[in-house]
A and B are shown apart, each in its own frame.
Chain A
Amino acid sequence: MMDERDLPTREKVLWWIAGVVVIVYALFPVVWIVALSFKTPSDLGSKRFWPTSWVWENYDNILAGDAQELFLSALRNSIGISLIATFISVVLATFAAYAIARLDFPGKRVILTTALAVAIFPVISIVTPLFNLWRNIGLYDTWPGLIIPYLSLTLPISIWTLSAFFRQIPWELEQAAQVDGATTWQAFRKVIVPLAAPGVFTTAIISFFIAWNDFVYGISLTSTERARPVPAALAFFTGASQFEDPAGSIAAAAVIVTIPVVVLVLLFQRRIVSGLTQGAVKG
């Protein structure tokens, strides 16, 4: 990668402009939501970007007020379901990706292409059959009822990213460990897994986002607050009276559910560094 200082001034300015454009484009909706969440219901239609007066009313409403029950249970469901789905998918994907990267077995390509096919398969087309199936076998409106379909979303991408990470780890390291007296399992646990850690974290975060942000499964396969996740719950928000627009509360809830995602990224930013394998080989 080229160092910024090496660029000629004109090019540097262009890069800056491009960067600013991208940032504004990406952050504008977020800032808008934040601004919206601080508006009073009457202020919503004021056609002004910033609130006329900043109020905590919407946050009060969802955390302590009328919508509290709806929101907090949804938040609990979302966190629990997403974490479990992420955990299962990362553990399974680690083994699958390791096998795909290291071993030569028939059907390796089939697994990878199937994973890709599953990933690009439109979610909406399997929701109806899943709805019927889940109702029949009693998974409808339960945590496992969401975790299982979430795995179908998170596993393919996890397998693909992790197998790419595993391929980067020099095979000699594992062979060296075996010569040093390690069993295959010890070599995997003591050498491969620590080196793949950045990849595992990256994958975990991606999986978590996918599960966290899902709406279609969340709204279709749940009916009560037993399992309804936040994105689905937002759709059930109402205003203080039926004539009042719930947009403020929805915006406040959206801000709150974004926070864990931001915190996660900040926490693991240092771990999502590639190049940990540097120094393993060559002089």
Chain B
Amino acid sequence: MAAITLKNINKQYGDGYRAVKDVNLDIADGEFVILVGPSGCGKSTLLRMIVGLEDITSGELLIGGERVNEKAPRDRNLSMVFQNYALYPHLTVYENIAFPLRLAKAPDSEVDERVRHAAELLELTEHLDRKPANLSGGQRQRVAMGRAIVREAQAFLFDEPLSNLDAKLRGQMRTEISRLQKRLGITTVYVTHDQVEAMTLGDRVAVLRKGVLQQVASPRELYERPVNLFVAGFIGSPPMNFIPATVERDELHTPFGQWRLPEGKRPDLSGHEIVLLGARPEAFEDAAVVSETIRDHGVEFEAHVDVIEWLGNEQYAYVPYEAPDDISAQLADLERELDSEAMRTQLVVSLDATSRIPEGSTAQLWLDLRKVHVFDPASGTNLTVAQSSGNGAAKAPAGDASAAAVDESADGSAQG
């Protein structure tokens, strides 16, 4: 077991493409860190650089305080679970799990003991004599994990290990991985594009965009205090709503009326004409069911609800609205980058399951203004968080995050 430290890690391919840009990350001993981002953000490249399958163009990689840039994968003593499992098809499950031990020339008795122990842990004992071709997807996945845990590696690396499983199995394996990691207490780096996996598994989550680290923080922090538009849009499902607003003194003019943010939640908006307001679906509510104690913290507004999805424990209402062209173009860009396709500008609103708003009607909605974030549309920076992190409230590695956010602004404005 060991800590992993990434110092100014860069990756540039032969064709000049920079997959990873100046990433700094400290992974503590025993910590479970998730690398997350949309496809092509460099998260897998970063993982493969840690394990040694990709060369590091510049920067320094330390494992347990020792520089390993020049070491071959086999000398780094890490174990990895590949996206497609990469089991050896000509070997039985037993020999697949035993493979790293055999290479290390462990005596047969020790191999047997450790393979059986790993198999027991993963409930593979009855499959030990079978070949990978005869196993189900979930079993193959467990064999791949068995091979990873059988030796005493410094850290586990997972490269989208659940993406080939169906939804139900994915949920189960997610819990299994979490349980296993807690039980073994081994430093773990886990790459995924699925923000649900990221939120549920990790002690800390590192969000990457185009090779640049955006924010490294606990899942809760990422959700409640995203540093920029990208992180805000990426984390959370359904995603955060972005509402364009023009600034007029203390008032914000939105397509749904004029709002005033509460004291203390009101960032300095001087110099900004247009801002984007970010509100998660659950910040909204059916005005009819809001409790009186919190009603004053928000605003009520009228909106046309065209579709309702009732899920039993809650329901989602969809509220289409018109946004200025340049803003909706920017939102569409953001959506595309997040691997989704925005058909129209709309609010996704989470309502209490008891709400009786009918589809296709105009309804009275309520928004909790305490939970609204204000973003600079040009740079994407979260002005609300930027202001309050001045008090030292943000425990995110401020250096990385703000550096990333600055880099971000260059990209953002170039696109806009």
State the CA gap A277–B90 with chains docked (Å).
Answer: 8
State the CA gap A275–B235 with chains docked (Å).
Answer: 41
Contact of A181 among B74, B85, B90 (CB under 8 A): B74
**Chain A CB within 8 A of B206 CB:** no
Is A179's CB under 8 angstroms from B84's CB? no
Q: Of the 9-residue stretches B25-33, B96-104, B215-223, B385-393, which lies at the interface with chain A? A: B96-104
Q: Which residues of B contact A280 (CB under 8 A)?
A: 84-89, 132
Within the complex, the shortest CB–CB distance from A103 to chain B, in Å, comes to: 14
Q: Of the 9-residue stretches A169-177, A207-215, A247-255, which lies at the interface with chain B? A: A169-177
Interface size class of A (residues with CB under 8 A): 20 to 34
Given the contacts A195-B90, A278-B133, A283-B141, A177 and B99 also touching, CB distance less than 8 Å? yes
B115-163 at interface with A (beta carbon < 8 Å): 131-138, 140-141, 147, 151
Contact of B86 among A186, A276, A278, A281 (CB under 8 A): A281
Q: Of the 9-residue stretches B56-64, B75-83, B185-193, which lies at the interface with chain A? A: B75-83
Is B89's CB under 8 angstroms from A279's CB? yes
Given the contacts A176-B82, A282-B164, A195 and B89 also touching, CB distance less than 8 Å? yes
State the CA gap A21–B134 with chains docked (Å).
Answer: 39
Q: Which residues of A contact B131 (CB under 8 A)?
A: 279
Within the complex, the shortest CB–CB distance from A275 to chain B, in Å, comes to: 9
**Chain A CB within 8 A of B342 CB:** no
Q: Which residue of A lies closest to B100 (CB)?
A: A180
**Chain A CB within 8 A of B53 CB:** yes
Is B136's CB under 8 angstroms from A283's CB? yes
Is A175's CB under 8 angstroms from B82's CB? yes
State the CA gap A148–B99 with chains docked (Å).
Answer: 40
Q: Which residues of B contact A186 (CB under 8 A)?
A: 103
**Chain B CB within 8 A of A191 CB:** yes
Within the complex, the shortest CB–CB distance from A280 to chain B, in Å, comes to: 4
Within the complex, the shortest CB–CB distance from A224 to chain B, in Å, comes to: 47
State the CA gap A194–B134 with chains docked (Å).
Answer: 18
**Chain A CB within 8 A of B51 CB:** yes
B339-362 at interface with A (beta carbon < 8 Å): none
Within the complex, the shortest CB–CB distance from B273 to chain A, in Å, comes to: 51
Q: Which residue of B lies closest to A195 (CB)?
A: B90
State the CA gap A175–B86 with chains docked (Å).
Answer: 9
The digit string for A171-209, where 1 denotes a CB below 8 A from any CB of B, is 011011111111100100011001100000000000000
Interface size class of B (residues with CB under 8 A): 35 or more
Q: Which residues of A contact B329 (CB under 8 A)?
A: none
Within the complex, the shortest CB–CB distance from A183 to chain B, in Å, comes to: 7
Q: Which residues of A contact B73 (CB under 8 A)?
A: 175, 178-179
Q: Which residues of A contact B84 (CB under 8 A)?
A: 170, 172, 280-282
A-B Cβ contacts below 8 A, count: 89
Q: Which residues of B contact A177 (CB under 8 A)?
A: 88, 99
Within the complex, the shortest CB–CB distance from A130 to chain B, in Å, comes to: 42
**Chain A CB within 8 A of B165 CB:** yes
Is A178's CB under 8 angstroms from B88's CB? no
Contact of B74 among A179, A277, A283 (CB under 8 A): A179
Q: Which residue of A lies closest to B78 (CB)?
A: A179
Within the complex, the shortest CB–CB distance from A108 to chain B, in Å, comes to: 15
Is A283's CB under 8 angstroms from B53's CB? no
Which of A190, A277, A279 is the most central at the interface, judged by chain B CB atoms within 10 Å of its CB? A279
A124-142 at interface with B (beta carbon < 8 Å): none
B277-305 at interface with A (beta carbon < 8 Å): none
Q: Which residues of B contact A194 (CB under 8 A)?
A: 90
State the CA gap A276–B133 with chains docked (Å).
Answer: 9
Contact of B82 among A172, A183, A195 (CB under 8 A): A172
State the CA gap A186–B77 with chains docked (Å).
Answer: 16
Within the complex, the shortest CB–CB distance from A51 to chain B, in Å, comes to: 50
**Chain A CB within 8 A of B403 CB:** no
Q: Which residues of B contact A191 (CB under 8 A)?
A: 88
**Chain A CB within 8 A of B72 CB:** yes
Within the complex, the shortest CB–CB distance from B85 to chain A, in Å, comes to: 6
Contact of B165 among A178, A190, A278, A283 (CB under 8 A): A283
Is B134's CB under 8 angstroms from A279's CB? yes
Given the contacts A176-B82, A179-B78, A181-B100, A279 and B87 also touching, CB distance less than 8 Å? yes
State the CA gap A102–B163 with chains docked (Å).
Answer: 26
Q: Which residues of A contact B100 (CB under 8 A)?
A: 180-181
Q: Which residue of B lies closest to A197 (CB)?
A: B90
Is B164's CB under 8 angstroms from A180's CB? no
State the CA gap A278–B134 with chains docked (Å).
Answer: 9
Is B99's CB under 8 angstroms from A180's CB? yes
Which of A186, A190, A280 is the most central at the interface, judged by chain B CB atoms within 10 Å of its CB? A280
Q: Which residues of A contact B89 (CB under 8 A)?
A: 195, 276-280
Is B85's CB under 8 angstroms from A281's CB? yes
Question: What are 21 A-B residue pairs whose CB atoms fall within 8 Å in the complex?
Answer: A170-B84, A173-B88, A175-B82, A176-B147, A178-B74, A179-B52, A179-B53, A179-B78, A179-B80, A180-B103, A181-B74, A181-B77, A182-B103, A183-B72, A276-B90, A279-B87, A279-B140, A282-B84, A282-B137, A283-B85, A283-B164
Top 10 closest pairs, chain A to chain B, by CB = A283-B137, A279-B133, A281-B84, A172-B86, A176-B86, A279-B132, A180-B100, A280-B89, A181-B103, A283-B164
Residues of A near any B CB (own CB < 8 A): 170, 172-173, 175-183, 186, 190-191, 194-195, 276-283
User: Given known contacts A181-B100, A283-B165, what 16 new A-B pairs fall within 8 Å (CB)?
Assistant: A172-B82, A172-B84, A172-B86, A176-B82, A179-B52, A179-B78, A183-B72, A183-B74, A186-B103, A276-B90, A279-B131, A279-B132, A279-B135, A280-B89, A283-B138, A283-B164
